[in-house]
Structure 1
């Protein structure tokens, strides 16, 4: 791999749905290998992926991160349902002529990943669901007030984001500060997400969390191998929801990372990337 995620330029591709998608890609997969597509969290754009994590994931595989419809530099208006976000993500993979992909969805992206696996199962080879919960889980209707106040205000305050993404321990907090430093030091930054994106995404998150025991059954139809992961102190998507999700999906694996919150995958980027590689490469 010649370039880091911190160095690669933003590319665009036109999809059949009329959206111009912005994306970055790194790594060179083995011949016949399956690329890994990343799905971002609430209010995040291409810059919110930690280059240290993406570079580690790209050892031996092609990794693609993109802005979904209306996010960052991608055109259009951000939809307010997870189902439409999934259809838009599928349109992006179609535009890149991906007949099969591994999917890593983080937080909101993990909801979208589940929906992709249900809408177009032939596209998805394996799925990694980070900070994830199933649709309809009781207690998931919106986030705790202090959490949405920290990440949902018009102006994003880095210190407040750190409070949600990392634990109060010195080690976790230091890891978070380093990760944020790696994310936003590049020369070519993505366009900030808009208030319309924030509102639409939180509408989608809230609707996803309306309690419904019947909706919980939907994920039992996912047949692709699934790896569920979370931090042990995630205040945004509590670990019990990740355990619930893993219990519902046939054969799913789960790992909870210590002294970690919502940003566990950045804090433990080397270990998490190794765990993902082991999961994706296992025969």
Structure 2
């Protein structure tokens, strides 16, 4: 456990040796959401992952939260572990946090991967995520999760893997309700699309073809804004690509990290 302050204590895992990779999960989840992807990635790296404040085994830090504060949690963890530069991978809210790190601390990034992330929302998309936030705040996680299944998983996966859906549901229900809402408000209330042209790190951007919350249009927009970006749309998939298709996600991430996750002349100086 990393005790950042009296309010913030972050549960983390630091595994392996080699080039460091920081993985940031999405709202309502925890560090174990990366298990499937990690099982398909090269073992010759140092993988660092943590539970966001108020999530998993991290301290139930009261809200409200800010995007900058969540980004600073991640950077403080790197400082605690003596990591000067790392490849950063973020899913959903984690992708938004990764964007903030890329903008606020560009010197700390070797490269950045945005999985099912958001940027450049239309007014209609913004209205929908605002509505989901208010449903969560008003009706609680059970209603929110019931509404989310169709957005997160393909029908085939729902039919074939009910145990995965139940495990995801149970993780969300273990979160403190106020912390869950505080984190979701960060996801709904922030959009860095207009600033992404300032990102200097090489970027990999991906999402599911049928993800309506982190749509292909948004990923295309983000990839177009970031000067050095690669874009991949995963056929047929929806939002929860880490759980439904970890092998496909890893197959894109692994060569990207091999090409950009090592020390460059810039990061050596």
What TM-score range do you get, normalising by the shorter chain?
0.7 to 0.9
Q: 1:34 Cα shift?
A: 2.1
Match among 207, 232, 243 for residue 266 of structure 1: 243
- Name the structure 2 match of 1:72: 56
1:154 aligns with 2:140: yes
Say whether the 8 Å CA contact 1:73–1:190 is kept in structure 2. Answer: no
Name the structure with the higher helix share. Answer: 2
- What SS does the corresponding residue of 1:236 show, helix, strand or coil? coil
* Aligned partners of 2:133 and 2:184 also within 8 Å: no
Report the CA distance shift for 1:204/1:251 in structure 2 as closer, same or farther (over 3 A): same
| 1:45 counterpart residue number | 30
Q: How far apart are residue 150 of structure 1 and its match?
A: 8.4
TM-score (norm 2): 0.82
Correspondence for 1:19 among 8, 31, 44:
8
Which residues in structure 2 correspond to 1:97-108 (within 5 Å)? 97-108=82-93
TM-score, normalization: structure 1?
A: 0.78
The residue number in structure 1 matching 2:180 is 198
The residue aligned with 1:127 is 112
The verdict on how the C-alpha distance between 1:69 and 1:79 changes in structure 2, with shifts beyond 3 A counting, is farther
1:239 to 216, 221, 228: 216
Whether contact under 8 Å (1:137, 1:216) holds in the other structure is no
Gaps of 5+ in 1: 1-11, 210-214
Structure-2 residue corresponding to 1:212? none
Counterpart CA distance in 1 for 2:41 and 2:173 is 24
Preserved contact between residue 197 and residue 225 of structure 2 (Cα < 8 Å)? yes
From the superposition, tell whether residues 229 and 206 of structure 1 become closer, same or farther in structure 2 (CA, over 3 Å). same
In the superposition, relative to structure 1, how do residues 191 and 238 fare at CA in structure 2: closer, same or farther (>3 Å)? closer
The aligned residue for residue 221 of structure 1 is: 198
Unaligned runs of 5+ in 2: 261-269
1:273 is displaced (CA, Å) by 0.5
Q: Does 1:54 pair with 2:43? A: no
The answer as to 2:266 corresponding to 1:282 is no
Q: What SS does structure 1 have at the residue aligned with 2:99?
A: helix
Q: Is the 8 A contact 1:125 1:225 kept in 2?
A: yes
2:228 to 251, 264, 278: 251
Against the structure 1 CA distance between its residues 257 and 190, is the aligned structure 2 distance closer, same or farther, given a 3 Å change threshold? closer
CA RMSD in angstroms comes to: 3.0
Distance 1:99 1:18, change over 3 A: farther
Q: How many residues align?
A: 257
CA contact (8 A) 1:14 1:95 kept: no
SS in 2 for 1:244: helix
